[in-house]
């Protein structure tokens, strides 16, 4: 068995720590360099006490030299930081970027939402995404040396609605999504609104009115599924929990579409997917059921009165929403079984 060596840049953050946790259980990827910026020189155990096997590892500074010599480099860096370092890495290094730098194909959308020059576009790391003619997103990932991991909200929202668009059941001009995320989605930086006294026992919206940066990414994924433009009204909310996303996604259906048509489309889209699970009729997703796993739980229904599909998705924003997807895409790029080293059982209660 060949062992691949991987570096994790940004290992002191939530996403980087989650990548390290998953790789500890990976039978064919071993952890190499662990890097950070302001936390360089610190013991990883002082920042992530739960990563006991790595507690004495000292975080190196994030540089191209430190990341060199690895077959895989996972980048869990702030938006805008990945583009600066990627150009110094050898082209044969598989770079898995968990930031937003290379997700968007539309340079204008990037400029509008991020306010900086567009760095380029990489293959989009959502293997299960249904596309027209029965294709899936993973087709672009096999053998790729540069992969952009989706945002956590786009993962949940895109997988929730894409089967209906790929099957031609949904209309693309009236998509409304309201999604709740745990506080870890905002990262580890100290922010007053994320203090326990502020967040616990309270929910609040943010990025209202189409301002959230994940909006164009959701539209991009759903447009790819539909084969035509899709516009989305997206409202995120902050939920009083550490991790998890629950996305409630609705779209209009055509006049002849039935509830049976809807169910068949979602069943067909994910029948062979190891991580995406359409629940039995009447059972709805809960964030608690996907905690710590690489799973997506889905349910879908047709509101006959309003002629809208309602699709609800639950994911762990740090696992399938970020780190799990990164490891999953690395598996595809390396030619390993897609499920290698990834948990399909959650943690309860």
The domains located in the chain, with CATH, are 4-150+320-334 (3.40.50.720), 153-317 (3.30.360.10)
- Quote the percentage of the chain above a pLDDT of 90: 90
Spans in the chain with pLDDT lower than 50: none
Query: How big, in percent rounded to 5, are the helix, strand and coil portions of the chain?
Result: 30, 25, 45
Q: Distances from the Cα of 127 to the Cαs of 148, 285, 316, 332, in angstroms?
A: 11, 21, 17, 9
DSSP category for residue 283: -
Beta strand 170-181 with 29-36 is: unpaired
Q: Is 21 helix (H, G, I), strand (E, B) or coil?
A: helix
Q: Is there a contact between 301 and 333 (Cβ–Cβ < 8 Å)?
A: no
Tell me what pLDDT residue 131 has: 98
Q: Is there a contact between 97 and 72 (Cβ–Cβ < 8 Å)?
A: no
Beta strand 308-315 with 296-303 is: antiparallel
Rounded to two decimals, the pTM is 0.95
Which pair of structure tokens corresponds to residue 76?
A: 């869990």
Tell me what pLDDT residue 84 has: 86
Tell me what pLDDT residue 1 has: 66
Burial group, residue 106, by CB count within 10 angstroms (0-12, 13-18, 19+): middle
Tell me what pLDDT residue 80 has: 87
- Across the beta sheet with 296-303, the strand order is 204-205, 232-238, 170-181, 245-253, 308-315, 296-303, 276-278
Tell me what pLDDT residue 184 has: 81
Report which secondary-structure segment, H or E, holds 218: helix 215-226
Burial group, residue 224, by CB count within 10 angstroms (0-12, 13-18, 19+): buried
Report which secondary-structure segment, H or E, holds 86: helix 81-86
Tell me what pLDDT residue 196 has: 67
* 307 CA to centre of own chain: 29
Tell me what pLDDT residue 107 has: 96
Q: Is there a contact between 224 and 169 (Cβ–Cβ < 8 Å)?
A: no
98 is catalytic: no
DSSP category for residue 132: G
Q: 152, 157, 249, 329: which is the annotated catalytic residue? A: 152
Report which secondary-structure segment, H or E, holds 269: helix 259-270
């Amino acid at each position: 068995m060949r062992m691949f060596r991987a570096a994790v840049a940004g290992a002191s953050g939530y996403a980087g720590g989650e990548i390290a946790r998953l790789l500890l259980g990976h039978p064919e990827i071993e952890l190499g360099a662990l890097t950070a910026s302001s936390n360089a020189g610190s013991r990883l155990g002082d920042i992530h006490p739960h990563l006991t096997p790595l507690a004495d590892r000292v975080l190196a500074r994030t540089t191209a030299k430190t990341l060199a010599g690895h077959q895989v480099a996972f980048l869990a860096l702030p938006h805008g930081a990945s583009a600066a370092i990627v150009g110094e890495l050898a082209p044969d290094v598989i770079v898995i970027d968990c930031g937003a730098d290379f997700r968007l194909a539309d340079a204008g959308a990037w400029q509008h939402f991020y306010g900086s020059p567009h760095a380029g576009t990489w293959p989009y790391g959502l293997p299960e995404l249904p596309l027209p003619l029965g294709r899936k997103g993973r087709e672009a990932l096999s053998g790729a040396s540069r992969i952009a991991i989706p945002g956590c909200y786009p993962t949940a929202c895109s997988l929730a609605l894409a089967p209906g668009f790929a099957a031609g059941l949904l209309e693309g001009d009236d998509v409304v999504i309201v999604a709740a995320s745990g506080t870890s989605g905002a990262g580890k930086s100290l922010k007053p609104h994320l203090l326990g006294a502020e967040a616990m026992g309270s929910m609040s919206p943010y990025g209202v009115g189409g301002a959230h940066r994940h909006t164009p990414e959701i539209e991009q994924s759903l447009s790819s599924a539909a084969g035509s433009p899709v516009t989305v009204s997206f409202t995120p909310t902050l939920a009083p929990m550490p991790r998890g996303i629950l996305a409630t996604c609705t779209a209009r259906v055509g006049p002849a579409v039935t509830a049976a048509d809807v169910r068949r489309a979602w069943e067909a889209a994910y029948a062979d997917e190891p991580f995406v699970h359409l629940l039995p009729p009447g059972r709805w997703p809960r964030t608690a059921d996907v905690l710590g796993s690489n799973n997506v739980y889905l349910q879908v229904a047709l509101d006959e009165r309003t002629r809208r599909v309602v699709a609800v998705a639950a994911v762990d924003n740090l696992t399938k929403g970020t780190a799990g997807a990164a490891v999953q895409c690395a598996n595809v790029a390396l030619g390993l079984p897609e499920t290698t080293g990834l948990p399909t059982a959650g943690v309860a209660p």
